[in-house]
Structures are given as C-alpha cells and as structure tokens.
Amino acid sequence: MLNVIVPLDFSQTSFNAAHYAAQMFKGRTDVKIILYHFYEDDKDIAVAKNYLNSQKEELSHLVSNIDIELESGDNFIDRLAAFAHIKGAFMIVMGLTGKTPREQRFSGSNTLKLSEKEVCPVLIVPEDATYTGINNALITSELKSVEDTPTLLCIKKVLQYFKPALHILNINSNHYISVTDDVREERNKMEGLLAEFNPEFYFMRLYDFHESVEVFTRDKNIDLIIIAPRYHNFFERLFKTQHTKKLIYHSKVPVLAVHE
C-alpha cells in the first residue's frame, strides 16, 4: 500500500490539493490517502475532526482508502516530516499560493520548507490546478555527472506509476549548432538509465531559464515538472532566492521536488 499524505490547513488551496490527489489516484486500491492536520490548541480538535471527516466523505467516491490524522507539537514541518518517514510515504501533496510577495511569505512558506526535507517526493500543486492526467513529464537537466542515484530511483518510481511520456530538457546559453561531446556523452548515460521510459531529449539555447521552461511546458503540454539535485542546476538555491522561487510560484502545472 502506497501512503500519500495531504496536509490540510482547511484553506481552499489545501482542499484543492486534496481533490487533485484524489483524482490522481482515482480507483487505485493500492493507494491510501492520509488527510493530515496539525493543530496548536486542544480546543481545535473537534472542529478539525469534523473538517477532516467531511473531506474524507467528499473524496470517498474517488479513493476507497482514506485515513485522517491529527497531530500537535512544537513545529509543523518537523512533525509532518517525521510522520511521513514513519509511514514510508510515497508522496506528500501540498497546495501552494504565492502570486504576491506577501502570499509567498506566509501561504507558501510551509510548502517550500517541507520540500527541503529529505523525506519523500513533495508534489506542489498550484492553487488553480485541475487534474487532467499525467501524460507528459518534464525533467530539467544540466547533463553533468549523470549517474544512478537514490534520487533517480525515486523519479523512476513515480514514472513507473503514472507512465507519462518523458521529456528531458537541457537549457544552456552556450549551445550552438550542435551540443558538445561531453554533453552528448552525459545524454547517452541518462538515456541508458531511463531507457524503459523512452525519453526524448531537447536542447534550448536561451538565456532565461524560467522563460525557457514555461515555453517548453506550454508547447509540449507538460503535466508535471520534476526537479531534483542531480538534474536541476538551480535546486540548491531553489528555496533560498526570490529569483529561483519563480519556477515554482509561477508554474501553471504541479512541480514534484525529489531529494537525494
């Protein structure tokens, strides 16, 4: 049984993430969705249980295995990460708002902080996203030091589950008529490691990374963007600078953050 955790703070964004997750795993008997709420005061427990049970009932026609979980403690992110570790979670699905700096500072902060935890893949769902299937997945890659890693294993598990067409995009302002021998060698390595998914490779000579990803996502009807340390050159700074947060905050499709 694959455990998928959906944290709910009872905002519309979190409810949308729960519906997105339920649609993703609709009719799958091998998946259990856990609706998770972190409370700060015991007097909130009764109301929280009512919300959770109501959401469980609302989603029950899509997914048959749904549990609810309430926890309290000193730190929401640490408690959720520990819970996900204990459950051996396949994925955490969280909503994200953040069109303005204020929303990014408050509404989006917990989602981004959790994405930095090395527990399990975190699917970040835009606030207006509607699930229409995962038919095309995108990995952005530097194509440097490609090797078999735990990160790649996590990515493979997700790809094996949803079976999308796989697109691998390399963005480099130094690309000219053809790629270098070094890039070609790394491309061949990655093609071998992901051979079961028949990946298609693309090389773009553009200077704005985010604009390139946005254009590619739109042109190829991408349903899921996968970012990971080995395959995304901005990952280490992704949650630390306003510039690189743009990839997640302004993406119109869900982003899956996978750690080493």
* CA dist 27 → 31, 64, 86, 248 (Å): 9, 7, 25, 29
12: tokens are: 């519309």
CB count, 10 Å around CB of 242? 9
Instruction: Give the H or E element holding residue 24.
Output: helix 12-24
CB count, 10 Å around CB of 244? 18
> For 180-237, what is each residue's pLDDT tens digit?
778 788 889 889 999 999 999 988 876 677 788 888 999 999 999 998 755 555 444 4
pLDDT at 245 over 80: no
The pLDDT assigned to 243 comes to 40
The pLDDT assigned to 177 comes to 56
Closest CA to 117 of 158, 80, 157, 155: 80
Amino acid at 85: H
In the chain the domains, ranked by start, together with CATH numbers, are: 2-126 (3.40.50.620), 136-257 (3.40.50.620)
CA atoms of 33 and 15, how far apart (whole Å) = 13
CA atoms of 127 and 130, how far apart (whole Å) = 9
CB count, 10 Å around CB of 151? 20
62 DSSP 8-state letter: T
Q: Record the pTM.
A: 0.88
User: For the stretch 103-115, what's the b/e string if a residue is b when 16 or more beta carbons lie within 10 angstroms of its beta carbon?
Assistant: bbeebbebbbbbb
pLDDT at 105 over 60: no
* CA dist 181 → 70, 175, 186 (Å): 54, 12, 9
